[in-house]
């Protein structure tokens, strides 16, 4: 479709399906090559094959809580495609548990995947990006935590709020190396996972709270990530883009204005 990422190589963690797969597809459409990092081997291999196979997309097993796994994905990018220009950390988990019922083990797991994973991904990308004097790091945060929250998402909210703070710190530290660090904050995105685990009534109720009247798509998020990963965002760092159809804007439920 274009050449906004022509010659660029990306590692995308959490890209076997959903938003991550949408990001990988969008990058390849714009001329990039990608390493699809994920713990879902079968789905990841299928996604890589569908996006063009080894010439454009290669799967690598990545548990984002393990530094050696992320290092392997970075190594694969350099070995397969010659460089690393973009790191996207999209992997995340979101169990629903009230604070009073959250075990220390569950808290640690959510923070390890969602927040520590961003730290490890940034650290792994820093070496090759610093050596070439160029890099784009993009994290998937959320409106849940930085903007809004709901019961049962205490650990998830804390992890995503932490990502936004880490983005600012990393952006300052990495700026001198020609590396930008940014994030996206998706609202309710209609992924296959949501379709499988949420009722039609729930999805309709969420859409009713969104000014644009519908849940977002993985491609909506991917377009924002593409911008942050491209040359167009060369002077943008330390910030996030909210992709929520206006969900965080209304003060209450009575927000619809019907034109005459």
- Residue 137 within any structural domain of the chain: yes
User: pLDDT, tens digit, for every residue of 1-38?
Assistant: 799 999 999 999 999 999 999 999 999 999 999 999 99
**Residue 243, both tokens:** 């992709």
- Residue 260 within any structural domain of the chain: no
- Mean pLDDT, all residues of the chain: 96
User: pLDDT, tens digit, for every residue of 41-98?
Assistant: 999 999 999 999 999 999 999 999 999 999 999 999 999 999 999 999 999 999 999 9
- Residue 144 within any structural domain of the chain: yes
- Residue 4 within any structural domain of the chain: no
**Residue 180, both tokens:** 């930008």
- Residue 237 within any structural domain of the chain: yes
- Residue 259 within any structural domain of the chain: no
The confidence band for 260, taking pLDDT boundaries of 50, 70 and 90, is low
- Residue 255 within any structural domain of the chain: no
Q: What is the pLDDT of residue 65?
A: 98
- Residue 180 within any structural domain of the chain: yes
Single pTM value for the model: 0.96
The whole domain housing 236 covers: 9-243
Q: Which residues are catalytic?
A: 156
Q: What is the CATH number of the domain that holds 38?
A: 3.40.50.720
What's the structural domain count of the chain? 1
């Amino acid at each position: 479709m274009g050449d906004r990422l022509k010659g660029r190589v990306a590692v995308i963690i959490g890209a076997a399906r959903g938003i991550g797969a949408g990001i990988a597809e969008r990058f390849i459409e714009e001329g990039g090559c990608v390493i699809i990092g994920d713990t879902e081997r079968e789905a990841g291999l299928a996604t890589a094959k569908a996006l063009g196979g080894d010439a454009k997309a290669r799967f690598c097993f990545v548990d984002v809580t393990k530094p050696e796994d992320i290092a392997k994905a970075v190594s694969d990018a350099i070995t397969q495609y010659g460089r690393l220009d973009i790191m996207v950390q999209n992997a995340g988990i979101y169990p629903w548990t009230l604070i009073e019922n959250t075990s220390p083990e569950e808290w640690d797991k959510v923070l390890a995947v969602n927040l520590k994973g961003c730290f490890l991904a940034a650290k792994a990308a820093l070496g090759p990006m610093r050596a070439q004097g160029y890099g784009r790091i993009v994290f998937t945060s959320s409106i849940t935590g930085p903007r809004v929250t709901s019961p049962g998402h205490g650990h998830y909210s804390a992890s995503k709020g932490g990502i936004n703070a880490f983005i600012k710190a990393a952006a300052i530290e990495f700026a001198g190396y020609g590396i930008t660090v940014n994030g996206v904050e998706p609202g309710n995105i209609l992924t296959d996972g949501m379709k499988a685990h949420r009722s039609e009534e729930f999805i309709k109720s969420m859409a009713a709270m969104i000014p644009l009247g519908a849940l977002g798509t993985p491609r909506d998020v991917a377009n924002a990530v593409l911008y942050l990963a491209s040359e167009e965002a060369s002077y943008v760092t330390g910030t996030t883009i909210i992709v929520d159809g206006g969900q965080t804007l209304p003060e209450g439920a009575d927000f619809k204005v019907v034109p005459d």
